Amino acid sequence: MNELTFLDLVILKKLDANSSVENFGSQINTSFFETANLLGTAKIKGYVNIETSIGGISKVTITDAGLGILTLAEKKAGEPIEPLDNALLHALAGGAKDPEALQSSLNIRSGDLAYHINKMVAQSFMDYEVRSSKVNLMLTEQGFNSTGGVKVQGAPAAQAGAQPAAQHEAKKEEEKQEHKEKEEKKDKEDIFHILRGGEKEEKPPEHAHEKAAESHQHEHAEHHKEHAHEKHDEPPVPLSPEAAKKREKTQRTLSKVQYYIKEYWAWIALILIAAVIFAGAVYSMVSKIV
């Protein structure tokens, strides 16, 4: 409570011979009640005296302790830039906007912070404004350039780092969902494929069985030719186009039936077993009733 703050230093620097509680608020953009509270706090700390006159004007004067603070502040303002000063500039560029935020960020004493902020203001690295008993700090162009553009480079860099991470997570989640949908679709297709009897594989086997039918016809023709060669007196009787077409269709159907029996014999056997069990159950039930 009794430690010097930068706002105390601002108040001491703005006081003059004509300052009073009633008119000092305009000097620091603060209402009368807030001004009275700030000056009362400075009086408790021993930095100022408040004298009440007959006309109702409360004159404010600086004490010896207050003058000593101003002298020390002026002396420190002329010193070279130190690491703490650079830390203040970088913290301000990184988002700290008032002395309280700087003190919390750097973990330093309020009095030391007040002198170093005053130093940065005096050397044109910082500027400030007071409004409603609050101090807002800002970098000047010189102060901003001295940080190497931390505010421009640092904040967007953090956002740029966070944005790709979010995009990566979203993309990963999307790919996961897409993969899941593909797996479900594939499972459904496999089930439908089994129930339909291999729709996708129907054409290739059909083509294969057509070849098998043609091969069978060729063997039959060769056999017929050999048989005809043995019996020179019995020439082969050619089939009519309709008969040949009907024969080829019959052979193709038989080939398909053979293929499906061979491919799905397990299902057929399961169905037959189920049918036998069902028939046995029905027969047993009918026998009991009779």
Q: Residue 88 above 80 pLDDT? A: yes
Q: Is the residue at 232 inside a domain? A: no
User: Is the Cβ–Cβ distance between 259 and 210 less than 8 Å?
Assistant: no
pTM: 0.52
Separation of alpha carbons 161 and 8, rounded Å? 41
Q: Is the residue at 14 inside a domain? A: yes
Cα angle, residue 51 at apex, residues 46 and 55 outer, rounded to 5°: 160
Same domain, 50 and 139: yes
pLDDT in tens, 207-256: 444 555 555 565 555 555 555 544 444 555 666 777 777 777 787 778 77
Same domain, 23 and 77: yes
Domain that holds residue 258: 243-290
Q: Please count the structural domains in the chain.
A: 3
pLDDT in tens, 159-206: 444 445 555 666 676 777 777 677 766 655 554 454 455 444 444 444
Same domain, 162 and 137: no
Same domain, 17 and 122: yes
Q: Is the residue at 195 inside a domain? A: no
**Tokens standing for residue 92:** 């301000």
Longest dimension (CA), the chain: 158
Q: Is the residue at 90 inside a domain? A: yes
Q: Is the residue at 196 inside a domain? A: no
Separation of alpha carbons 250 and 268, rounded Å? 22
Share of the chain above pLDDT 70, in %: 69
Same domain, 131 and 106: yes
Same domain, 11 and 63: yes
What pLDDT score was predicted for residue 11?
94
Same domain, 35 and 168: no
What's the CATH number where 133 sits?
Answer: 1.10.10.10
Low-confidence winner among 3-17, 19-33, 191-205 (lowest mean pLDDT)? 191-205
